[in-house]
Amino acid sequence: MKLPKRTIQRLSRYRRLLYKYRYMSEPYIYSHDLARLLYLNPVQVRRDLMLIGSSGNHRKGYNVNELNDLIGETIDSLEVQKVGIVGAGRLGQAILNYLTEEETNLKVVAVFDIDSQKIGSKFCEIECHDISKVSQIVLEQNISIGIIAVPSEFATSIADILLNSGVEGILNFTNVHLDLPKSIYLKEFDIITTLEEMAYFVKNK
C-alpha cells in the first residue's frame, strides 16, 4: 500500500517526537497528546496510526516503542538510504550536520566540493571528494538521494550528473528550477524566492 504524501510527512514527525519518549520507564502516549504536541487534529492522528495498523490501548494510549517500530517498518527502507551532498559550503555543511545529529534512516556517505582545501578532509566524519567524482562515487556507494547545495550556475550540470549516475531523488537548494524526468523525485527550496514572496505579502497586508 502506498500512503499519501501528507501521511508520510506526519508519520515522520510522529516518529521524531516519539524518539524523545523511548527512555522513559513506561512509554505510552495518547493520540491527543501526540496531536497537541504537533498541532494536529487528534482524529487525524488516530486515522494515520490506524492506517499503519496501530489502534492503541483505550486506557493507556499507544505503546511508544511499538509505535516507533511500526512507523519505521512503514517509512524506512530495509536498507539505509544513502545520501550524497554536492557542495560543502556553509549550506552543505549545515545540512550534513543536521542529518548526522538527527536519528533517521538516511545516511550521508559522501560530500563533494571543488575547493582543493576541502577535498580529502572530513566533515562530520564524512569524506569530502572532488566534485568530478560524483558520478563514480554515486555508483560505487549506491547513493539514491542527492542534495544540491552548490552555487546556482552549477545546479543544472550537477543535476544532470546525479541523474545519469542513477540517483532517484534530488533535493535542490539553488534558485535554479530543475526540469527533470518525472521518474526522479524532486524537491526544491529556493530561499530568495520564498523571502521575496514573503516580503510582498507582508508589504500588502
Residues near a second copy (CB under 8 A) are 2-3, 5, 8-9, 12-13, 16, 38-39, 75-77, 81, 83, 89-91, 93-95, 97-99, 102, 104-106, 144-145, 168-169, 171, 175, 177-179, 183, 185, 187, 189, 191-205
Q: Which is nearer to a second copy, 8 or 114 (CB)?
A: 8
Closer CB to a second copy, residue 59 or residue 182? 182
Nearer to a second copy, 57 or 185 (CB): 185
In the complex, least distance from residue 187 CB atom to a second copy, rounded to whole angstroms? 5
Beta-bridge partners for 84: 110, 146
Cell numbers 521524531 label which residue? 16
CB of 101 to a second copy, least distance (A): 9
What is the nearest approach in angstroms of a second copy to the Cβ of residue 38? 6
Q: How far apart are CA 24 and CA 101, in angstroms?
A: 21
- The gap from C-alpha 115 to its chain's centroid, in whole angstroms, comes to 26
User: Could you give the C-alpha distances from 170 to 123, 143, 148, 155, 180, in angstroms and in order?
Assistant: 21, 11, 7, 11, 10
Rounded least distance, CB 205 to a second copy, Å: 7
Rounded CA separation 7/9 (Å)? 5
> Which residues lie closer than 8 Å to 75 by C-beta, 6 or more apart?
8, 11, 12, 15, 105
Nearer to a second copy among residue 5 and residue 59 (C-beta): 5
Q: Among candidates 167, 175, 126, which has minimal Cα distance to 149?
A: 175
Work out how close the CB of 103 gets to a second copy at its nearest, in angstroms, rounded to a whole number.
9
Minimum CB–partner distance for residue 62 and a second copy (Å): 20
CB-wise, 57 or 77, nearer to a second copy? 77
Q: Residues 147, 171: contact at Cβ < 8 Å?
A: yes
Which is closer to a second copy, CB of 132 or CB of 193?
193
Closest alpha carbon to 110 in 126, 93, 132: 126
